[in-house]
Homo-oligomer: A and B are copies of this chain.
Amino acid sequence: MARVTVLDSTLRDGAQSEGISFSVRDKMRIVSALDELGVDFIEAGNPGSNPKDIEFFREMRSQKLANAALAAFGSTRRKGVKVEDDEGIRSLLEADTETVVIFGKSWTLHVEKILRATLEENLDMIRETVAYFKSKGRRVIYDAEHFFDGHAANPDYAMASLRAAAEGGAECLVLCDTNGGSLPARIAELTKAAGAIGAPLGIHAHNDSGLAVANSLTAVEAGAVQVQGTLVGFGERCGNANLSTIVADLELKMKLSCLREGSLPKLAAVTRRVAEIANVGFDEGMPFVGLRAFAHKGGMHVDAVIKTPASFEHVDPESVGNERRILASEVGGRAVVIERVKRIDPAATRESPLVAQVVKRLKEMEALGYQFEGAEASLDILMRKAAGKYKPFFQLGHYRTIGEQPSGDREHCAQAMVKIAVDGVDEISAAEGDGPVHALDLALRRALERFYPNLSEMRLADYKVRVIDLPGAGTGATASTVRVLIESADSDDAWTTVGVSTDIIEASWIALVDSIEFKLIKDLERRFKPYLS
């Protein structure tokens, strides 16, 4: 099987994304994730332009990678400076990576207007810089910035810049569509043309025309043997080529080998982990790895996919570590609900009264602004309630939250008081927190832990608020209905619950209670399982 090497630039080009900023620790965690996935190169920063990156490369010296080679990134030497005297080049050497990626100019516009160098001088800069790192024992990948635009402006010069890098000893010449404006046909044509140089080629595409994935695949078809991108598609403007998509397309559809063998089923989890470390909301519609990638909602589709998965699935979800989801929704109808009710009551059929009841209850809740897609733990509790397989774990007597600014000698403070009862035994507790929801969360758990000590294992992993417009309701920003999603986790599982109210504290309370009850039900089930089998 032919092999395409993969260079991930999440930590370099991806760090240029709006809203992304990596700490040194973030970077190290992302390196581990990418290494585990089995990419070939991790382009991890530009030590010449970013002081944080210098610290990172220092830290990395003691860390051994299983698969990937770490690469530092930097430009060709400055004009009029000897390569060994150039500060940027020195930082790159000091980064002490096996591989360096050197980028240079192929577009006369950039040479003349941005670098303000002569065309000949730029070719020298490319050749000398690459040769210098080769002489220092480094592997050198050469990124031909703006290759496609450069070729349009001056084809001979763009090709000459590639040849300069090849002469310097670059092991791969990477054709960069830096502005992301090229169409696949052009990528194919120029990749083939660059093949005449005789060096291995790579492709580095951006998504400004929505074509980064297609352009990458096209280049591979035309002879490129390295694909550069970022696993989650991070990158300036519209992002770099999304490697999670490309890798799956190359392996599953074009039958080429990219990742370390057997790694593809880790794709969904590792992609999500990288997005989490970057603290960026995950695009659940992302091909192959998103929660929605194999989710079915339309009634007809759901019927079909249950009968014959291939009827609406282009690949097996498990091949990329994802799973099929059947969504709860008015469009889906009973087929959807039955699939889920069966988890609570395996004997349920299309005609069960329970199914009709759940459908009715779902419609009522949706009218209030609930959506259970992505809040499956709340849906599970709703179904248990409808099925009579539920008993509350506690009764709320009363809660009160207070927020103040200023408060005594402090800038602001939040407190909550909660009174609950479990089997007739009252418990009252209070807590101070970072904000009223946190105070309420602490006070409620403090009260409950006396009765349910296993709650101490549970932690709240994420808290999301979305303002929703309900048709017909008078709305307006802070007065709008809000939907709160709380993601909770213990050492074994993660689950998400939902609450809706015009009052953010009340919406949080609803989601909080579901989350705690889900944990308690889950633990009970596990404890009693041995007695059932």
**A residues apposed to B, CB below 8 Å:** 15-19, 21, 23, 25-26, 49-50, 109-110, 113-114, 146, 178-181, 183-185, 207-211, 213-215, 217-218, 221, 233, 236-239, 242, 245-246, 248-249, 253-254, 279, 281, 283-288, 290, 292-301, 303-304, 307-308, 310-315, 327, 329-331, 366, 371, 373-374, 396, 398-406, 411-414, 433-438, 440-441, 459-469, 471, 476-480, 482, 486-488, 501-506, 508-509
Contacts and interface: CB of A to CB of B under 8 A. Distances in A.
Contacts of A414: 503, 505
Nearest to A296: B236
A214 B296 CA distance: 24
Contacts of A18: 284, 292, 295, 297, 327, 329, 373-374
A285 B214 contact: no
Given A16-B297, A435-B478, A311 B221 contact: no
A287 B21 contact: no
B301 A236 contact: yes
Given A109-B308, A399-B405, A436 B238 contact: no
B16 A503 contact: no
Nearest to A413: B503
Given A254-B183, A503-B412, A249 B307 contact: no
Nearest to A146: B311
Contacts of A330: 21
Contacts of A114: 303-304, 307-308, 311
Contact of A185 (B183, B221, B479, B502): B221
Given A213-B214, A459-B477, 20 more contacts: A49-B299, A113-B307, A180-B314, A181-B315, A209-B213, A209-B249, A210-B246, A210-B249, A214-B214, A236-B296, A236-B297, A237-B285, A238-B290, A283-B283, A398-B404, A401-B404, A435-B482, A436-B504, A463-B478, A464-B466
Contacts of A374: 18-19
Contacts of A218: 184
Contact of A209 (B113, B253, B413): B253
A488 B295 CA distance: 35
A436 to B, nearest CB: 6
Nearest to A290: B238
A298 B405 contact: no
A480 B434 CA distance: 8
A83 B400 CA distance: 64
A291 B204 CA distance: 23
Given A329-B21, A373-B19, A438-B502, A253 B183 contact: yes
B477 A486 contact: yes
A221 B214 CA distance: 15
A427 to B, nearest CB: 17
B113 A308 contact: yes
Contacts of A285: 17, 207, 233, 237-239
A291 to B, nearest CB: 8
A218 B188 CA distance: 13
Contacts of A308: 109, 113-114
